[in-house]
């Protein structure tokens, strides 16, 4: 399996038969290197409704006939926008899909969009645990540090965790260091930083600090692809 980082919180998990795109914010993302017009995926997971996460989801889903899986209110909103293949789920809910086992887990954040000058509530924000082809992947979405990350660690001990470190809107590197330990993650990739000036952080310093806890920190630049059998870049 390969995991590509597209910048900000957007990753793409590609297995033998499926390609799952998460939080596809490409257009207007100053660090993205791939165009939303060419990206290919059969499934899109959205952690919450903020525009720097939903991004190009509608256009990519329509062009690829992809299924969007997300929290129920955001799913309903996307259906109203004309998306035909949308799967509504909620926090604590899990399901078996052709690509693997998906479980939505809490994230401590908010979720909304501004439409025609009005703020629209889009349900709770979430993270997820995806078990696919023998690899357990945790994407935290946008979140503050919360102690139930220990429970996610006890139950799933993810092979790889994608954790926001940007501060201002989410955890900072100090919080994310504790999160990585609580999650019992083997590999941690920092995300949601250095996209904008408000969320500047040193990802390499964070990765270095993970070492003292026996956790492998990997800093991914937009466009880089990680092979999960070796944890090396392709
Ligand atoms: O550095 C940033 C990050 C985000 N925003 C905008 O704030 C809201 C909420 O974003 P989250 O990252 O989901 O918390 C959203 O509209 C972002 O585009 C920002 O202005 N600067």
Overall domain count for the chain? 1
Longest dimension (CA), the chain: 49
Name which residue sits closest to atom 5 of ligand 1, judged by CA: 52
Backbone angles phi, psi at 152, to 5 degrees: -60, -40
Determine the structural domain holding residue 90 and report its residue range.
Answer: 2-233
How far does the centroid of ligand 1 lie from the alpha carbon of residue 105, in Å? Answer: 21
Tens digit of each residue's pLDDT (9 = 90 or more) over 197-206: 999 999 999 9
Q: What confidence score (pLDDT) does residue 26 get?
A: 98
Say if residues 45 and 15 touch (Cβ distance below 8 Å): no
What's the rounded Cα separation, in Å, for the pair 21 and 43? 6
How far does the centroid of ligand 1 lie from the alpha carbon of residue 196, in Å? Answer: 9
**Could you identify the atom of ligand 1 that is nearest to the CA of residue 109?**
14
Name which residue sits closest to atom 8 of ligand 1, judged by CA: 50
> Residues near ligand 1 with C-beta < 6 Å?
50-53, 142, 169, 196, 198-199
State the virtual CA torsion across 108, 158, 16, 106 in degrees, nearest 10. -20
Q: What confidence score (pLDDT) does residue 212 get?
A: 98
The Cβ of residue 130 has, within 10 Å, a number of other Cβ atoms equal to 21
- Evaluate whether ipTM surpasses 0.85: yes
The Cβ of residue 34 has, within 10 Å, a number of other Cβ atoms equal to 17
Tens digit of each residue's pLDDT (9 = 90 or more) over 135-168: 999 999 999 999 999 999 999 999 999 999 999 9
What's the rounded Cα separation, in Å, for the pair 168 and 166? 7
Q: What confidence score (pLDDT) does residue 210 get?
A: 98
The domain that contains 67 carries what CATH number? 3.60.15.10
Pairing verdict, β 86-89 and 67-71: parallel
**Average model confidence (pLDDT) for the chain?**
98
What's the rounded Cα separation, in Å, for the pair 148 and 53? 23
71: three-class secondary structure by DSSP: strand
What pTM value is reported for the model? 0.98
Q: What confidence score (pLDDT) does residue 45 get?
A: 99
Tens digit of each residue's pLDDT (9 = 90 or more) over 46-84: 999 999 999 999 999 999 999 999 999 999 999 999 999
């Amino acid at each position: 399996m390969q995991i590509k980082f597209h910048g900000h919180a957007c990753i793409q998990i590609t297995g033998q038969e499926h390609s799952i795109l998460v939080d596809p914010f490409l257009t207007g993302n100053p660090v993205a290197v791939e165009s939303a017009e060419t990206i290919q995926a059969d499934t899109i997971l959205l952690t919450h409704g903020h525009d720097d996460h939903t991004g190009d989801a509608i256009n990519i889903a329509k062009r690829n006939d992809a299924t969007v899986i997300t929290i129920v209110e955001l799913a309903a909103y996307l259906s109203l926008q004309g998306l035909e293949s949308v799967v509504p789920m909620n926090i604590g809910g899990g399901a078996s899909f052709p690509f693997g086992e998906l479980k939505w887990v809490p994230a401590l954040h908010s979720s909304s969009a501004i439409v025609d000058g009005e703020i629209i509530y889009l349900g709770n924000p979430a993270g997820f645990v995806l078990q696919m082809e023998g690899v357990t992947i945790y994407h935290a979405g946008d979140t503050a540090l919360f102690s139930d990350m220990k429970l996610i660690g006890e139950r799933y001990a993810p092979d790889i965790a994608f954790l926001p470190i940007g501060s201002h809107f989410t955890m900072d590197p100090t919080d994310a260091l504790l999160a990585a330990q609580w999650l019992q993650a083997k590999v941690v990739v920092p995300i949601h930083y250095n996209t904008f000036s408000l969320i500047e952080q040193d990802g390499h310093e964070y990765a270095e600090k993970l070492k003292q806890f026996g956790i492998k920190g990997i800093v991914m630049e937009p466009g880089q692809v990680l092979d999960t059998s070796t944890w090396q870049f392709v």
